[in-house]
Amino acid sequence: DVKVTQSSRYLVKRTGEKVFLECVQDMDHENMFWYRQDPGLGLRLIYFSYDVKMKEKGDIPEGYSVSREKKERFSLILESASTNQTSMYLCASSSPGTSGRNEQFFGPGTRLTVL
Amino acid sequence: DAKTTQPTSMDCAEGRAANLPCNHSTISGNEYVYWYRQIHSQGPQYIIHGLKNNETNEMASLIITEDRKSSTLILPHATLRDTAVYYCIVPRNQAGTALIFGKGTTLSVSS
């Protein structure tokens, strides 16, 4: 079974803390993604990565950074957490397939609360 | 900005076909249309994708209009477990790897 795992299912942090969200995939996928999901706003892309040490900004990168030192791991970093970063964070991975099939596989999500 | 338009919500009776429409009038000639769904408290799940031709798999059928400006996802015999948010998506980038998830359609299947 293909698998994307995220380090925590629930996380509570304080304003100003540095927060690391970890994502690991075991499918040898080239592409990895970080989204956040908020009620009424749907899923929004924060950052994505095509390869090790490569990263691209998504639609809402402000306040976040990422790290991809190994192919299987993609980390999302909140340098100084703020209350408006309270959200559900979803990680996904994909690999270019045939006939345009860039199917993304999602992890279970991390619900982050910043107090 | 999202490149697709979907109704906010739809209802369907169990056992009937659910037809979910999507407008993607600005889609480029080589861009695929993807459909995902998200069941409550889970990550999104891929359903199907297509370019020009109609597609069918074990989960659903995808009908794309000839001008490619709209498509319809068909769940032929909806069950209660098909209650979910359904996303019609076109890629954000030319490589087709980054997807824009809009707000989707909330499908409610009732008995």
Q: pLDDT value at position B3?
A: 81
pLDDT tens-digit series, residues A21-73: 999 999 999 999 999 999 888 889 999 999 999 999 998 999 999 999 999 99
Contacts of B40 in chain A (CB under 8 A): none
For B1-111, strand residue ranges (E) read 9-13, 18-23, 33-38, 45-50, 55-56, 61-64, 70-75, 84-89, 105-110
Average pLDDT over residues B39-52: 90
Residue scoring higher pLDDT (A110 or B102): A110
For A47, nearest residue in chain B (alpha carbons): B98
- B2: pLDDT confidence band, cut at 50, 70 and 90? very low
Interface test with B, best of A34, A99, A102 (most B CBs within 10 A): A102
With CB atoms and an 8 Å threshold, state whether B101 touches A44: yes
The DSSP secondary-structure symbol of B79 reads -
Q: What is the nearest CA distance from A30 to chain B, expressed in angstroms?
A: 10
Question: If DSSP codes are grouped into helix, strand and coil, which group holds residue B72?
Answer: strand
For A5, nearest residue in chain B (alpha carbons): B43
Contact assessment for residue A105 and residue A93, using Cβ atoms and an 8 Å cutoff? yes
Those residues whose C-beta lies under 8 Å from the C-beta of residue A26, and which sit 6 or more positions away, are A2, A3, A72
**What part of B 12-71 touches A (C-beta under 8 Å)?**
32, 34, 36, 42-46, 49, 51
Pairing of strands A4-6, B55-56: unpaired
Those residues whose C-beta lies under 8 Å from the C-beta of residue B70, and which sit 6 or more positions away, are B21, B22, B23, B24, B25, B64
